[in-house]
A = this chain, B = another copy of it.
Amino acid sequence: MNHRAIARFHAALSNEVRVRIVALICARKEMCVCELVDELGLSQANVSRHVGILRDAGILQDRKIGTWVLLRVDEALLREQFGSLLDEIHAGHVASVHMDAEQRLTERCGRALCA
């Protein structure tokens, strides 16, 4: 996962409506779009769009039953995604770049820091 992909994942959960959708589906195990429309009081078009964003981000899975699309959250996968985000951010901790910040900045200025 590169930085752009990390940003995209977080972007999926950066909207209050989408967080509520995820929380609702976690609580109910499975929900269809029309139930979400009732719960959230938003237009069906809007809810469908948010669901699509969460689906694209891999946060929601679904199965079709008749005309319904039953949505669910793979919680284990979600935990795994969160974990790998942290690992990615924390990668690159090699000693070579760990020069002390004050030392580095003093060199940058070509002078000592008087403060």
Taking Cβ atoms with an 8 Å cutoff, the residues of A that contact B are: 3-4, 6-8, 10-16, 18-20, 22-23, 26-32, 35, 65-66, 68, 70, 75, 78-79, 82, 85-86, 88-94, 97-102, 104-105, 108, 113-115
A interface: dominant SS: helix
CB-CB < 8 A to A28: which residues of B?
A: 97-99, 101, 104
**Least CB separation from A23: chain B residue:** B89
Q: In the docked arrangement, what's the CA distance between A63 and B16, Å? A: 32
Name the distance in Å between A3's Cβ and chain B's nearest Cβ.
Answer: 4
Q: Looking at the complex, which one of B7, B26, B75 makes contact with A19 (CB distance below 8 Å)?
A: B7
With A10-B19, A28-B97 already in contact, 11 other A-B pairs whose C-beta atoms are closer than 8 Å: A4-B19, A7-B18, A10-B11, A26-B89, A26-B93, A27-B97, A29-B98, A32-B101, A35-B108, A68-B105, A82-B85
